[in-house]
Chain A
Amino acid sequence: MKHAALSLDYFALAKEAKALNTSGAAKVIRVALLADCATQHLAEITRAIAARNNVQAEVYEGNYDGVDLEILDPNSALYVLNPQYVVILLSSEKLKAHLYASHDRRGFADETIGRLENLWTAFRAQSQATIIQCTFVLPSERAFGNYELKVAESVGSIFTEINYRLAIKARASKNVLLNDVDFLAASVGRTQWFDARMWNMAKTPCRLEHVPLLAQSLLDTVLAASGMFTKCVVLDLDNTLWGGVIGDDGLEGIALGEFDEGEAFVAFQTFIRELKRRGIILAVVSKNEHAAAVLPFREHPHMVLKEEDISVFVANWDNKADNIRLVQKTLNIGFDSLVFLDDNPFERNIVRQFLPDVVVPDLPEDPSLYLETLAGLNLFETASFSEADLQRADQYREEAQRELTKTHFTNINEYLTSLGMEIRLERFNAFNLPRIAQLIQRSNQFNLMTRRYGEAACEAMMSDPSVAPLTVKLADKFGDYGLISVVLLKDAGSDIEIDEYLMSCRVLQRGVESFTMNTIFSYAARQGAKRVTGHYLPTKKNDMVKGFFKSFGFEKIADGEGGASQWALAVDAYQPREIFMTPVANEL
């Protein structure tokens, strides 16, 4: 579900529940809560969480401890209300009490399973609705300590047996789904889950602060059963599926393998592959050259996901909102059934802004925590599983090959303006030299000449009057990107020559290049230069900038060896580009 468990504060939700207005809700669901514990808090919170998801939940609460009567009596209020979903929530306290009172411990699991199966059958005879049967929370107290499970008649053993057999029976019952309340309790800690004082005073099934978790879990099941579930996961590549940037770091340079971050990425990919196996379609949307993006899938020994696991593979330099639209159109599924996973907050926010229905969870900085973050959100609920799910990805993959066409819709300018970007164009200084040298060594893709000047050469430029050695820094409302571009300008007679131009790919498509080029040309004009010139020197990795000069209106004036080219543009012929950032420093 879209709302993170962390935002599920009990008191905030209880307050929201009092002022609900769901008249315009996209969906109405009718749920009955049948329980042998108090359900008022749960009902209230369920309504509030449903409303946050634009769903109006009409919650009917059965009589306290009246589960069997409501179901077995065909004239009960339950059948008059005709709900779509019936939750059966039975407390461990009551089950325990029955067990302690039982004279036949060996037969107790049989008896309990028989009772529930009988209820399911009786209900099916009266109603088409779906039963959501909750599992029992294992008690924390153990009369035998660790020996508990060695004894078939211990409370722990009997509870475990009942939960297990409940699952087996549910697999064979078409009208029964399970809600694993014992899993919820275990995930917060069973001793934290249950509050004996609250049970004794008010018969609440768990601590009040965990009621939202229970409500959300029930709603996850209900919404999945009514067709609201994740169908496709859209994946970023660099720093999401592996550590580092494939286009810059190369096959050997990315972190993916048997220890440290590499191991975290392997674990993450393994879970993603498991999602594919259970019928979730995988798509890739990555800012990369296609050839670089597919390389790890084809050749990296530790890559878990293979190319054939990905139904739609989009690697280009377009904005991700457009690319996700392309995925959505190709697969022909709703935006609200897409989950987008990307380590980069800029990309997440652009997708949230332009495609508000897409589920975009925040990922933590450490890839080791990706899985636990996703686990907390329970984004992959389903109400069915069949053979067809196993083959779905392949079917979509074949269709996607035919459908994939490029489209552009997003008006990015307004978004860029809203980022509040601040840019600083500064001359080299001693303080920055290590970072400058590092960027010069590491940038492979957005690098026009790839001259690889060392730190000493950079230092020498600082005192060379014929060179303007420049750095660009960028910050926006999401954070400071630091020093992200290096540009070297040289006086060359009546020309200003761009001797080196490189930029980090993290800040593509913000208009940083436009700002820089505007500034270069106004500098050239002040210097009385006639033209600005520059070279494109191709390497294996800088294909993405081969059209760079042309895009600013430069004319090719010479071809060199190996695809190299020289470009020039008259200073008075340059058309300044629109920019969406505030220059806070300009030392040119």
Chain B
Amino acid sequence: MEKSEIESRLTPIFRDVFNDDALVVTEGMTATEVPTWDSLSNINMIIAVEKAFGVKFSIKDVRNLKNVGELLDLIKRKAP
């Protein structure tokens, strides 16, 4: 899967989970830029992404994520 495709599929998931209809996913995006991105919604986001892409992340995967770009890489690596 191409990164651009992953990115466009992530946007509606992020909009739902972070409750922001104007949100557009970019590679450099971090939690601090999204006011509703807290520890609770972070878990929701991880589970929603796993479900949407049919992947499973390890705890280490999740803890190491620094920004959305790294999430894109992770999905690209794990997606079937």
Contacts and interface: CB of A to CB of B under 8 A. Distances in A.
**Co-assembled chains A and B:** yes
A201 B43 contact: yes
B47 A201 contact: no
Interface in A1-25: 11, 14-15, 18
B1 interface: no
A11 B43 contact: no
Contacts of A14: 17, 44
B16 A204 contact: no
A295 interface: no
B8 interface: no
B62 interface: yes
A201 B62 CA distance: 9
Contacts of B47: 198, 208-209
Nearest to A19: B19
Nearest to A14: B44
Interface in B60-76: 62
8 contacts: A11-B17, A15-B19, A41-B44, A44-B40, A197-B59, A202-B39, A204-B43, A208-B44
A200 B59 contact: yes
Interface residues of A, number: 15
Contacts of A353: none
B43 A202 contact: yes
B48 interface: yes
Contacts of A197: 58-59
Contacts of B39: 202
A201 B39 CA distance: 10
A401 interface: no
Interface of B: 16-17, 19, 39-40, 43-44, 47-48, 58-59, 62
A204 B43 CA distance: 10
A76 interface: no
B44 A11 contact: yes
B52 to A, nearest CB: 10
Contacts of B48: 11
A11 B17 CA distance: 8
Contact of B59 (A11, A201, A204, A208): A201
A204 B40 CA distance: 10
A15 B16 contact: yes
Contacts of B62: 201
A40 interface: yes
A584 to B, nearest CB: 42
Contacts, number: 29
Interface centre among B17, B47, B48 (most CB of A within 10 A): B47
B59 A40 contact: no
A514 to B, nearest CB: 51
B45 to A, nearest CB: 10
In the A-B complex, the 8 residue pairs with the closest CB atoms: A18-B19, A40-B40, A202-B43, A208-B47, A201-B59, A200-B59, A197-B59, A15-B16
A208 B19 contact: no
Given A197-B59, A201-B62, 11 more contacts: A11-B48, A15-B19, A18-B19, A41-B40, A197-B58, A198-B47, A200-B59, A202-B39, A202-B43, A208-B44, A209-B47
Nearest to A209: B47
Contacts of A40: 40
Contacts of A44: 40
A93 to B, nearest CB: 15
A11 B43 CA distance: 12
Contacts of A18: 19
B28 to A, nearest CB: 24
A198 B47 CA distance: 9
Contacts of A202: 39, 43
Interface in A39-55: 40-41, 44
Contacts of B19: 15, 18
B10 to A, nearest CB: 15
Contacts of B16: 11, 15
A203 B3 CA distance: 32
Contacts of B17: 11, 14
Nearest to A41: B40
Nearest to A11: B48
A364 B62 CA distance: 42
A545 B58 CA distance: 71
A15 B45 CA distance: 12
B37 to A, nearest CB: 13
A483 to B, nearest CB: 46
Nearest to A18: B19
B77 to A, nearest CB: 18
A201 B43 CA distance: 9
Interface in A179-232: 197-198, 200-202, 204, 208-209
A64 to B, nearest CB: 12
A43 to B, nearest CB: 10
Contacts of A209: 47
A44 B19 CA distance: 14
Nearest to A12: B16
A344 B22 CA distance: 46
Nearest to A201: B59
Interface string A250-287: 00000000000000000000000000000000000000
A212 B5 CA distance: 31
A41 B59 CA distance: 19
Nearest to B43: A202
